[in-house]
Amino acid sequence: MKNLVTLVAGCFLAASAWGEPTAEPVLSDSNILARVDDRIITFPQLNTQLNSTAVVGLSTPALGTPERRTVILTLLDKAISVNLLYLDAVGKGKLEDPKFKRELQEYADGMLAGLYRRHYLKADSAVSEADIADYVKKHFAKDTELDDKMRPLVEAKVKKAKYLARKQGLRKHLHAGTKVMIHTKHLEIEDDGIRSDEQVIAEYDGNLMTWGESKKYLTTLNNSIDINRRLKTLNGLIDNYLLAKKGREAGLDQDPGFQSALAEFSMTRLVNRHRSALTQAMQPTEQEVRDYFTKYQGRITFNEHRKLQMVVLKDEKAALDIMEKLGKGELTIYQAALNHSIDPRAKQTLGDFGWVEEGSGFPALDELAFALEIGELGGPVETPAGWHIVRVTDQRASKYTDINDPDTRQQTRRLLLKERLNDYVVELRKRDYPVIVYEENLNRLLQEEAQWIAAKSREMEQHPERAKLILDEMKALVE
């Protein structure tokens, strides 16, 4: 256990998607966007984070667009905060927390078990001439000769048979030379409520498995009604330990993919645990929640929103004429927007105006839009832009308007805690861990990215026959 934590905390042999430690000074590295104490954040890391995962609250803008800069900056800010919280957690000794160390060990064992299982099952997958000859002898008529069509089919059959044989023999391979003892009498379902967490339920490879460390797996719904299912799950837990042990013996814990995933999990889990502990300590009183709502109600309340279709006419006469035709069914609102609206966007939008917030527009238009029922047509009303005919197509009700409402209190508490945590991170940045942002690198890298995309687009126009190759090259950039 100690070696595992030392590997992750001390060396961080593989980079996290949010940052990595600096092994030596690399100020000349033009990919660096920021330093947080001894950790660096690079442009490729943020691109990987943006392109390979769903980032909550962020869309993924196309390469080379101005919107991409905004999203990259948002991700950079998040990465800086994550690194600050990570350093704070390490500085407070959170790496030595027993629960964290156990979670890290379980994650590492699970990964190594999977790696070794695949490694073992594929180890004897090569098909020799002798294997093919033996299969033909057993399954074909005497003197049968394989043609080019049959040979690949036979090879596939032999490979599958070898795979299944190794799969069936995996447990025997794992248990060879290892003593495993399961104490069935300490697994009776009716004793779950009185069984001590220290009760030993199994012994394997010199280890003791207690009820406390395994009960979360053994007390699921199915395992709480069927002792045989429980025993099967317990055997699976022991097998996973033995698989992980074999994986370490085979050196699979040195695999770069394993180390990268372990480092990523370690950082993410440590930060999440630290953030939860901090917010728990920052919990506000009920009066503080009410005071915060009073002070920032405008930020907390979600006003009613309406989605509108709109036709804008130049004068009242034209508006009344169109309104009459709409009422008689002689025109649809789409046709009216396309052929009669003076809104320059109408031919593209067909009058779809999008969502508007109550109280955010011209008073007369706002009053009309929020008085109509869904699907109802109204107007015309005048604004400086012209005369408007409006139809409401959808509605989002107002929320968080009354502090006595439980949902409003919960939302207010959440925002207050978020503000307190942000203030804590700002103090870390000011007081404990220096942060340097290399904005000139970001500007240059985004510009180079945009220029590269533009050049590839021109190349596709000039050489359409190479379009697929170019698209594959562009796709590889973001994978």
For Cα atoms 202, 208, 212, give the angle at the middle one, nearest 5 degrees. Answer: 80
Put simply, whether the predicted model's pTM sits higher than 0.85 gets the answer: no
Task: Examine the pLDDT at 426 and tell me if it is beyond 70.
Answer: yes
Computed over its alpha carbons, how large is the radius of gyration of the chain?
32
pLDDT of residue 19: 63
Mean pLDDT of the chain: 88
Phi/psi for 357 (5° steps) reads: -95, 140
Q: How distant, in Å, are the alpha carbons of 322, 353, 382 from that of 388?
A: 11, 12, 6
Domains and CATH numbers, the chain: 1-126+253-281+438-479 (no CATH), 127-252 (no CATH), 303-396 (3.10.50.40)
Element spanning 6, H or E? helix 2-6
- The whole-angstrom separation of Cα 451 and Cα 218 is 57
Q: What is the mean pLDDT of residues 187-213?
A: 95
Q: Which of 374, 394, 382, 388 is nearest to 311 (CA)?
A: 388
DSSP annotation of 401 reads: -
Structure tokens at 105: 């060990």
List the helix and strand counts (H, then E) for the chain.
18, 11
- The whole-angstrom separation of Cα 79 and Cα 68 is 16
- The whole-angstrom separation of Cα 349 and Cα 308 is 11
Q: What is the mean pLDDT of residues 283-305?
A: 95
Structure tokens at 307: 């989605």
Element spanning 228, H or E? helix 227-249
Whose tokens are 């948002």? That residue is: 74
Q: Which residue has the higher pLDDT, 79 or 478?
A: 79
Q: What is the pLDDT of residues 315-324, one digit of tens each?
A: 999 999 999 9
Q: What is the mean pLDDT of residues 236-245?
A: 96
Q: What is the pLDDT of residues 437-478, one digit of tens each?
A: 999 998 898 888 888 888 888 888 888 887 788 777 766 655
Q: What is the pLDDT of residues 95-112, one digit of tens each?
A: 999 999 999 999 999 999
